[in-house]
Amino acid sequence: MNSDDKIKELDIQYYSSTNCGYCVESNYMLKKAGVMKYIKKYVNKPSPDKQGAVPYFYSKKTKKSYTGYPRTINNLIEKLS
Protein backbone atom coordinates (compact mmCIF):
# COMPACT_ATOMS: atom_id res chain seq x y z
CA MET A 1 0.00 0.00 0.00
CA ASN A 2 1.47 3.37 -0.97
CA SER A 3 1.43 6.51 1.19
CA ASP A 4 -1.57 8.00 -0.67
CA ASP A 5 -3.65 4.92 0.15
CA LYS A 6 -2.50 4.93 3.77
CA ILE A 7 -3.34 8.62 4.20
CA LYS A 8 -6.80 8.06 2.65
CA GLU A 9 -7.40 5.07 4.91
CA LEU A 10 -6.47 6.99 8.07
CA ASP A 11 -9.17 9.64 7.38
CA ILE A 12 -7.11 12.51 8.81
CA GLN A 13 -8.31 15.81 10.24
CA TYR A 14 -5.61 18.49 10.33
CA TYR A 15 -5.74 21.67 12.45
CA SER A 16 -3.37 24.52 11.62
CA SER A 17 -2.87 28.24 12.02
CA THR A 18 -1.70 30.89 9.58
CA ASN A 19 0.61 32.25 12.32
CA CYS A 20 2.42 28.96 12.99
CA GLY A 21 5.80 28.18 11.42
CA TYR A 22 5.42 24.42 11.96
CA CYS A 23 2.01 24.58 10.28
CA VAL A 24 3.61 26.23 7.25
CA GLU A 25 6.19 23.41 7.16
CA SER A 26 3.46 20.77 7.57
CA ASN A 27 1.42 22.33 4.75
CA TYR A 28 4.46 22.26 2.48
CA MET A 29 5.19 18.63 3.35
CA LEU A 30 1.59 17.56 2.69
CA LYS A 31 1.38 19.47 -0.61
CA LYS A 32 4.79 18.24 -1.80
CA ALA A 33 3.72 14.64 -1.13
CA GLY A 34 0.44 15.27 -2.99
CA VAL A 35 -1.76 14.07 -0.13
CA MET A 36 -3.38 17.32 1.02
CA LYS A 37 -6.45 16.47 -1.07
CA TYR A 38 -7.13 13.46 1.19
CA ILE A 39 -6.98 15.43 4.44
CA LYS A 40 -9.75 17.50 6.05
CA LYS A 41 -8.05 20.77 7.00
CA TYR A 42 -9.20 23.26 9.63
CA VAL A 43 -7.44 26.63 9.62
CA ASN A 44 -7.42 28.98 12.62
CA LYS A 45 -9.79 26.76 14.60
CA PRO A 46 -8.82 25.45 18.02
CA SER A 47 -7.65 21.86 17.87
CA PRO A 48 -9.16 19.19 20.11
CA ASP A 49 -5.78 19.06 21.90
CA LYS A 50 -6.13 20.15 25.54
CA GLN A 51 -4.07 23.28 24.91
CA GLY A 52 -5.42 23.85 21.40
CA ALA A 53 -1.92 23.25 20.02
CA VAL A 54 -1.18 23.16 16.28
CA PRO A 55 -0.26 21.57 13.99
CA TYR A 56 -2.58 18.82 15.19
CA PHE A 57 -3.41 15.66 13.25
CA TYR A 58 -6.22 13.23 14.14
CA SER A 59 -7.14 9.94 12.48
CA LYS A 60 -10.87 9.24 12.55
CA LYS A 61 -10.08 5.60 11.77
CA THR A 62 -7.58 4.82 14.55
CA LYS A 63 -8.64 7.60 17.00
CA LYS A 64 -4.93 8.46 17.39
CA SER A 65 -3.58 11.99 17.30
CA TYR A 66 -0.25 13.71 16.82
CA THR A 67 0.68 17.27 17.72
CA GLY A 68 3.67 18.90 16.04
CA TYR A 69 5.51 18.90 12.74
CA PRO A 70 5.88 15.25 11.64
CA ARG A 71 8.76 16.02 9.19
CA THR A 72 7.79 13.21 6.77
CA ILE A 73 4.61 11.62 5.47
CA ASN A 74 5.84 8.22 6.63
CA ASN A 75 6.37 9.53 10.15
CA LEU A 76 2.84 10.97 10.17
CA ILE A 77 1.44 7.63 8.98
CA GLU A 78 3.41 5.80 11.66
CA LYS A 79 2.19 8.14 14.44
CA LEU A 80 -1.47 7.82 13.41
CA SER A 81 -1.52 4.08 12.59
When the pLDDT of each residue in the chain is averaged and rounded to a whole number, the result is 95
> What's the pTM value of the predicted model, to 2 decimals?
0.94
Task: Tell me the backbone φ, ψ of residue 63, rounded to 5 degrees.
Answer: 65, 20
pLDDT digits (tens, 9 = 90+) for 34-55: 999 999 999 999 888 888 899 9
Cα–Cα distance measured from residue 12 to residue 77, given in angstroms and rounded to the nearest whole number:
10
CA distance 37 to 27: 11
Three-state SS for 80? Answer: helix
Q: How far is CA 8 from CA 38, 71, 81, in A?
A: 6, 19, 12
